[in-house]
Structure 1
C-alpha cells in the first residue's frame, strides 16, 4: 500500500498563465489578488468571482478578505480549471479565451508554508460561498478538508451529496505573498509547454527546477470539441 502524506504535509498547488511567470520570478514572490497589480500579464480569473473574493471576509486571524491571500488548491483538475477549459471550448464571449493548456502549476506543501513561518488560513471549500468555514490551525486540516474527495477523479455534485463541487475547491490561503523559493516543482500539460517553461526558468536564472508533464492534471478541451 502506498502511504499518503498527512494533512500537515499535504501537497498544495497554485496555477497561473505561463505569461505571468517572468514577472513572478523577477519579483521572487506570488502576490495576493489585492496587491498583484502589473505582475499579472494574463488574468484567467472570472471577474465576478474575483470581485466576490474581495468582499468575502476571512473569519479567523489574520483576517481581512480572501483577496488578501495567495490561493492554493489541495488537488489538481479543480472546478475553476474546468470552467476555464469549457469556456475556451465553447468560445464564451467576455472570458479568458486561452483554455487550460498555457496554465502552469506551482507546487509546494503545507509543511513548507509552516516551516517558513508564513501566515495562512485554510478553507473547507469554495471561498466565495457563504457557508465555507476557515481555520488557521494546522491540527484542524485533517477534519476540515475532504481528503478522499481531493483524491477523487470526479467531483461533480450528486443527489446524495450536492456539496461536492464546493468542497473540492478547498484552499490553503497564504497571507499577502508567497516566496517562490518555497516552490518544490512545476507541472505543465505538454512537452511543448515544458520546453517553453524551461526557457522562462533559465531566463530567470533557475536551472535546477523540477518540471513534470502531467496531462491528467488538466482537461485540455479544444475549441468546439465534442466528447462522448
Structure 2
C-alpha cells in the first residue's frame, strides 16, 4: 500500500475514525460528511477549532459547498492531524480528545473506486482549512496537484527552504455527502489486539471476511509523558 508506487488516478485514500464509532458506521453502511455526522459519533477525535474552520471553507470546484460537506480522506498515512492527536495524548493536553492514535482505524479505498462508482468528489493540494489550498475535480490534475513524493516521506515537517510541507502533506480526497462502505478495500489498525477487537465488531455487523491488517508504521503510538529520544 504505497501511493508513490501507484498512478495518481489509482492512489490509495485513507479515512480514520475511532474504533468505538465503527458499529454505527457499519450499521449505516456508509461514512457521512462532517457537517452531518457529529450526532452519530461515539468518540469525536477532531479538534473543535479545525472542524469550525472546515465549515467555513468553500470548495472552489464542483460539486462546491463547504469542506465539511464532504467525507475526508488523506493520501498518506501518519498525517499531521494524526500527529497532533498522538502528541496531545502524549502531553495530556487539556480539553482535547485524550485517547491518542492507538484506537484509530483506517478505512482504505482508492481514487479509481470512488470515480468509477460515479460519486461526486474533489481533491485538494493541501490542508483544506488553509486559504491558499487549491481544489480540483479532474483525475488528470491529480498528478500535478498533489505532492506525491512528499506523500511517501516519513518526515514531513517544514524546512527552512520549504515552509509549506506540512500543509501539502495534508492533501485530501473529498467525497461529497457520503461514502458507501462497499468501496472500502480494507481496514488498518495499529496492534494485533486492535485487529481482534475490530474483527469482533465486523463479525457482529455481518462482515466477518473484511480485510484487516496491522500496520504500526502507519501510527505514532506515543505514550502519555513519553520523552522523544
Coarse TM-score class (shorter-chain normalised): over 0.9
- TM-score, with structure 2 as normaliser: 0.98
Work out whether 1:123 is the aligned partner of 2:124.
yes
Partner of residue 88, structure 2? 87
Partner of residue 53, structure 2? 52
Partner of residue 168, structure 2? 167
The DSSP-based 3-state class of the residue aligned with 1:205 is coil
The DSSP-based 3-state class of the residue aligned with 1:91 is coil
Partner of residue 144, structure 1? 145
In the alignment, the residues of structure 1 paired with residue 196 and residue 38 of structure 2 have an alpha-carbon distance, to the nearest angstrom, of: 28
C-alpha displacement at 1:38, in angstroms? 2.5
In the alignment, the residues of structure 2 paired with residue 56 and residue 41 of structure 1 have an alpha-carbon distance, to the nearest angstrom, of: 25
Partner of residue 112, structure 1? 113
The DSSP-based 3-state class of the residue aligned with 1:36 is helix
Work out whether 1:35 is the aligned partner of 2:36.
yes
C-alpha displacement at 1:207, in angstroms? 1.2
Work out whether 1:7 is the aligned partner of 2:8.
yes
C-alpha displacement at 1:95, in angstroms? 0.1
Structure 1 unaligned segments of length 5 or more: list them: none
The DSSP-based 3-state class of the residue aligned with 1:12 is strand
Partner of residue 192, structure 1? 193
- TM-score, with structure 1 as normaliser: 0.98
Partner of residue 176, structure 1? 177
1:208-227 aligned within 5 A: 208-227=209-228
Please report the RMSD computed on the Cα atoms of aligned residues, expressed in angstroms.
1.0
In the alignment, the residues of structure 1 paired with residue 160 and residue 103 of structure 2 have an alpha-carbon distance, to the nearest angstrom, of: 34
Deviations 1:48-73 (A, max 9, x none): 00000000000011000000000000
C-alpha displacement at 1:37, in angstroms? 3.5
In the alignment, the residues of structure 1 paired with residue 142 and residue 220 of structure 2 have an alpha-carbon distance, to the nearest angstrom, of: 28
Partner of residue 70, structure 1? 71
In the alignment, the residues of structure 1 paired with residue 152 and residue 217 of structure 2 have an alpha-carbon distance, to the nearest angstrom, of: 13
The DSSP-based 3-state class of the residue aligned with 1:104 is strand
Structure 2 unaligned segments of length 5 or more: list them: none
In the alignment, the residues of structure 1 paired with residue 49 and residue 5 of structure 2 have an alpha-carbon distance, to the nearest angstrom, of: 36
The DSSP-based 3-state class of the residue aligned with 1:72 is strand
In the alignment, the residues of structure 2 paired with residue 157 and residue 227 of structure 1 have an alpha-carbon distance, to the nearest angstrom, of: 19
In the alignment, the residues of structure 2 paired with residue 6 and residue 33 of structure 1 have an alpha-carbon distance, to the nearest angstrom, of: 28
Give aligned pairs, total: 227
